[in-house]
Chains A and B, each alone.
Chain A
């Protein structure tokens, strides 16, 4: 019963490096989301997807790209990491008809 799994859980990047965060869900959810969580702020939506092959921008999309080639996976990419992208990243998923969200355990990313 994995639910929503994020990899990796921790990562330190140097400025300018690239990386991909993977989110996998085994609940056949249509919707998937990537959020970032920063001190003193609510979770902010980076990108989201309402189905396989579709993605859309959220509140803070700059500097990130996403892909959803398979229904169960949602990838978040940082092409050229910046210190401002130091944050905790959460993936979530939900059914279209039932908006209860299921969250991954988070990825703590530090860009130095």
Chain B
């Protein structure tokens, strides 16, 4: 069992819909990252969270440390949001990241 679980694995939605992608992890962490990978393959860091909530444009990331759970929300989704979204965690005292398998998001015009 991967210690970082993402759901759903695949998500297809209509343009304009509100999107939620979930990430759960099994042990305590010092930080959680949300990454975006476009069809071209490059990976971009969207957020790094250790508590609470962060917002950047139409993207919102939240984390609940007690429940070991994070969500990535996209408001007013657009076809250009189509990508694979990856959750990764960093454990205390560890310089390494553990990655989820990603959520493939497709937004249909």
Contact = CB atoms under 8 A, between A and B. Distances in A.
Interface of A: 31, 33, 40-45, 48, 50, 58, 88, 90, 92, 96, 99-106, 108
Contacts of B95: 31, 48, 50, 96, 99
A41 B101 contact: yes
Contacts of A102: 45
A38 to B, nearest CB: 10
A42 B90 contact: no
B43 A103 contact: yes
A44 B102 CA distance: 13
Contacts of B2: 42
Assign chain B's interface to a size class: 20 to 34
Contacts of B33: 99-101
Contacts of B99: 42-44
A42 B42 contact: no
B48 A105 contact: no
A57 B44 CA distance: 24
